[in-house]
A and B are shown apart, each in its own frame.
Chain A
Amino acid sequence: MKGIIFVKLNQFVDELWGEEFWDALLQEATLPSEGIYTSVATYDDEELFTLVGLIMLKQGLSAQQAQFAFGQWMFKELLLAAPPEAHKFTDVFEFLYGVQAVIHVEVKKLNPEAILPEFEFIQETDNSLTFHYISPRHMCYFCEGIIQGLAAHTGQTVSVEQPECVHEGGERCVMKVTKVG
């Protein structure tokens, strides 16, 4: 996992619960990296899951809540770091299509080793878009949060639901984004 995610998680935790909480997480987690994160380095995925698990435990949150909140907060941070092409989208659906075709392509150019989720679009109507979320990390709740962050960015209101989810016993994760109002 790219260090930027850890740096941003640190920032997110600091903002929400304070530096002491982050310090306490690290003290308890005893991670291989000792919590020394730089955005350009790459760290073991397990460290993220350990940290998120501890946050859930300490704050009494479900995995869904934790990932969702982080995802929602994360969108604007990622957008700042994203290539200029990412800023031209004004619609949630357009952006979701563009993620794969434009943004992930740019990310791969700079970080050839990065593991990125793939979207396999299944169905689109005027106000809904259904796609298959494919990632070995299964961070579909994080993805839900990101989509909500995106909607806030475009000024649209959307609902995100998962007709199928690996965490709910499904074979795969399917996201259905519906424009509301």
Chain B
Amino acid sequence: MAKSREELETRIAVLERKVEREKKARVMSEQHLEHHSRAVYEANQSLQASLAMAKKKQAELEFLRQTSGDVSSDISLQELISNTVELTGQFFSVECGLFIVTKDGEALDSQEDNIWRAPNQWVTDTEFFEQAVKFLPLHQQECLSMWLVSAIDDESSQAMSGFKWIVFVNFALLGDKIAWLAFFSRAEFIDEEALSVLGTAREHLLSGINRRVTDVNIRKRTVELQDTVNRLEQAKRQLIQSEKMASLGQLAAGVAHEINNPVGFIRSNLEMLEEYLQDYQTLHESMLRHIETAGQLDAQHYKELCDNIDLAYIQQDAKDLLGSNLEGLERVKEIVENLRTFSHSGDGKLERINLGVCIEGALKIAWNALKYEHIVENQIPNDLPEVLGNIGQLQQVFVNLFVNAAYAMDAGGTLTLKAHVTPDALLVEVRDTGCGMDRKTLDQLFTPFFTTKPVGVGTGLGLSVSYAILESHNVLTQVSSTVGKGTLFSLSFPLLDG
């Protein structure tokens, strides 16, 4: 059915309006799309910028992580600085780095392999080095508090050509030395942000260097202390020996007397024996004369001749005299042997020893001080277990105790020696019936140079040295004393295991 003209015109008008709306809608859509695309583009750009920033931050963090890692590690100062130059050069994207140590403004050491070149190589370049250090204020003794940047405007030097900037810092080392780090860049501009990261790295490095410097000082101090300890040990050994010699000096007269006694009777015995030899000579001559005149010697006559010189007595007495001499020599030999043991400084090494034998020897050395006015009751059994000890040093202790006991009993008394085994120790007791000591004296008993003897008689070191010896033997020393009654020293020697 054909539409009327009016209807068609209305239809056309509707469609025209529709087309118009569609056109405008399309323009709007395109504008919207354009706007959207731009927004997407901008978002993309911003994301890329963020990514680049994140990567940069990551590189900075990685750089700081590596430098901090080095700082807190145990690598040497030299390695720490070399690593720092490498890491910094790579992070800072420079072509060249430099590390020198100066003292009083002058470069120290060899200038070999002290130039770092990208990507990562240490080289020797004397010409570059000489030109490069001109840009560093080496004469300056103060350390910089931050990285400094200088422009390089020296076009004359071949070695420096192309470099635009030098970035450098320094810090103090031990012995007034200064370490310098410098980096050379060809870049047009210096990245200020990277500089601030370098600042952080510098602080880490400083703390690392300080720590190492402190470590070196501590090691030095430890060596010095060890040295002092060694010297003290040596001094202590010398002191023990000196005190021993001093007490030996005091004992010398007594010991001389002890030796002189047997020497005296040996001599008089020998004189007697000489006379007896003379008598034998006389007998021999009488017999010869008789045989020459009578031609023979009968038994009757021989007996008469023997009776003339009292041969039977001579024979018996000579035997006694020889026995007495041998005994006397044995005594001298023992005293000399004990003196040798006593005076021998030795190495202080502990060996298995019998304390009974040790005490016996000490008694012999101190005998002269005791034998006249004192009774010595040596109740030490023969079957004591062995202990670890240095026989020379322990003899020194006992001689000291015995001489002190004799000194305390100037009007005579009894020195009693006892020993017995307890579950934990071998207990040796040295008791005297002397004047005893008051509290004040007891308190200072082991103090060096404390003595109750008159000037020139004691060194005041005897008991303090004895105490040191007993301590080194892990011996527990106890003293109890009553004024007017006497003193008891109890020494607990540790038992050998097993």
Name A's B-contacting residues (CB within 8 A). 19-20, 23, 26, 34-38, 40-41
B14-A36 in contact (CB<8A) = no
A20, A23, A26, A41: the one within 8 Å of B28 (CB)? A41
Name B's A-contacting residues (CB within 8 A). 10-11, 14-15, 17-18, 21, 24-25, 28-29, 32
* Docked pose: A26 CA to B28 CA in angstroms: 18
Contacts A36-B24, A38-B25 hold; do A19 and B32 have CB atoms under 8 A apart? Answer: no
* Docked pose: A102 CA to B365 CA in angstroms: 110
* Total number of residue pairs linking A and B with CB closer than 8 Å: 27
Contacts A19-B14, A20-B10, A20-B11 hold; do A35 and B21 have CB atoms under 8 A apart? Answer: yes
B18, B24, B29, B32: the one within 8 Å of A23 (CB)? B18
List chain B residues, Cβ under 8 A from A37: 25
* Docked pose: A37 CA to B15 CA in angstroms: 16
List chain A residues, Cβ under 8 A from B10: 20
Contacts A38-B32, A40-B32, A41-B32 hold; do A23 and B14 have CB atoms under 8 A apart? Answer: yes
A20, A26, A38: the one within 8 Å of B29 (CB)? A38
Residues of A contacting B: mostly? loop
A23-B18, A41-B32 given; 15 more Cβ-contact pairs under 8 Å: A19-B14, A19-B15, A19-B18, A20-B10, A20-B11, A20-B14, A23-B14, A23-B17, A26-B21, A34-B21, A36-B21, A37-B25, A38-B28, A40-B29, A40-B32
List chain B residues, Cβ under 8 A from A40: 29, 32
Q: How far is the CB of A5 from chain B (nearest CB, A)?
A: 15
* Docked pose: A41 CA to B36 CA in angstroms: 11
B11, B15, B25, B32: the one within 8 Å of A36 (CB)? B25
Q: How far is the CB of B8 from chain A (nearest CB, A)?
A: 12
A-B contact pairs, 5 of them (CB 8 A): A23-B14, A26-B17, A26-B21, A36-B25, A37-B25
* Docked pose: A35 CA to B24 CA in angstroms: 10
Contacts A20-B10, A20-B11 hold; do A36 and B28 have CB atoms under 8 A apart? Answer: yes
Q: How far is the CB of B33 from chain A (nearest CB, A)?
A: 8
**Could you say which of A19, A38, A40 has the most chain B C-beta atoms within 10 Å of its C-beta?**
A38
Q: In this complex, what residue of A is CB-closest to B20?
A: A36
* Docked pose: A81 CA to B10 CA in angstroms: 34
* Docked pose: A23 CA to B15 CA in angstroms: 9
List chain B residues, Cβ under 8 A from A20: 10-11, 14
Q: What 7 A-B pairs are tightest by C-beta distance, nearest first?
A: A23-B14, A36-B24, A38-B29, A36-B25, A36-B21, A38-B25, A20-B14
